[in-house]
Amino acid sequence: MKQIEQLEAICNRYDCQLLRNEPLCKHTTFRIGGCAAAFIDINGSDVLAELVNYCNENDLKWMVLGNGSNVLVSDEGYDGVIFSFGKQASRIEFLDDCRIRCEAGAFLMTVAKAALEESLSGMECLSGIPGTVGGALYMNAGAYGSEMADVVISAEYIDEDGSLKTVLRDHMDLSYRHSMFSGTKRIITSVTFKLHEGKYDSIKTEMTGYLNQRRAKQPLELPSAGSTFKRPVGSYASFLIDQCGLKGASVGDAQVSIKHAGFIVNTGKATCKDVLELCQFVIETVEEKTGYKLELEPVLLR
């Protein structure tokens, strides 16, 4: 395809790599999904802006992928371009006044550990979330009573017209699993956190405690996309699913985790079709038995 060749030429000028027909199961924590027509490992906002503009001008589909921890990819793959924020876009910079600026590809755990080394507190609850800062802000990720909205103060992003912009937290429209970026083509390129001074030993103890809770309660030993369903108002998805006796329910190799009912896990060679059929069964059963209508949390890429 000539368009892919043109993208490759742009990538070569910026020294970033384009892979053709790249299996997306290699780039998601669910380990599910077909191939992307083009997969580009982004190394800066300049090349990203140029690539986005080219795709827009030539009617090429595109999506952004971080760690792939909240994504379910179609078995047929993605007939478009995936922009991946990986190691080449993960720099962390310490600023004054307890601020940290991170490129979108930096892992939350890495940022939390870097903050720990500087005795900066505020990232403890978020430290175990298996995602990048860009993906976490996109969905205002949270855990144990804390969320990105509590520590983010600004972000840089590429707008839908390809221009680079900055937005402050108060204008990000942050709410439960939502931000101004959700469901849009705005691409987060960096995030700035405001933390506060703390004591190294206390921060480390708190981080370790949260990580131990995750290991004890969540099925981290199996591929998944994290929490599969959003928290319904007035209850918890895992409680409702467990109450309906759905732990262990399966379609193919997709299974409602026996360890934590809020997770759908891949026990072997689960397909996207398996997962969606199981999710639909869970949604229908929970609504029938409890009256609550569950919603999927992962982004469906197809």
Catalytic positions = 177, 227, 297
In 3D, which of 73, 106, 294, 283 has the Cα closest to residue 193? Answer: 106
CA separation, residue 56 to residues 80, 88, 181, 247 (Å): 12, 24, 18, 44
Round the CA-based radius of gyration of the chain to a whole number and report it. Answer: 20
Residue 282, CB half-sphere, CA atoms under 13 Å: how many?
A: 34
CB under 8 Å to 198, separation ≥6 — which residues?
Answer: 119, 120, 121
Q: Answer whether 104's CB lies under 8 Å from 89's CB.
A: yes
The tokens describing 243, both together, are: 């109450």
Q: In which residue are the tokens 């070569």 written?
A: 12
Q: In which residue are the tokens 């379609």 written?
A: 251
Q: Answer whether 232's CB lies under 8 Å from 292's CB.
A: yes
CB under 8 Å to 166, separation ≥6 — which residues?
Answer: 154, 155, 156, 157
Helix (H) or strand (E) holding 220: none
User: Residue 234 has what DSSP assignment?
Assistant: T
User: Residue 97 has what DSSP assignment?
Assistant: T
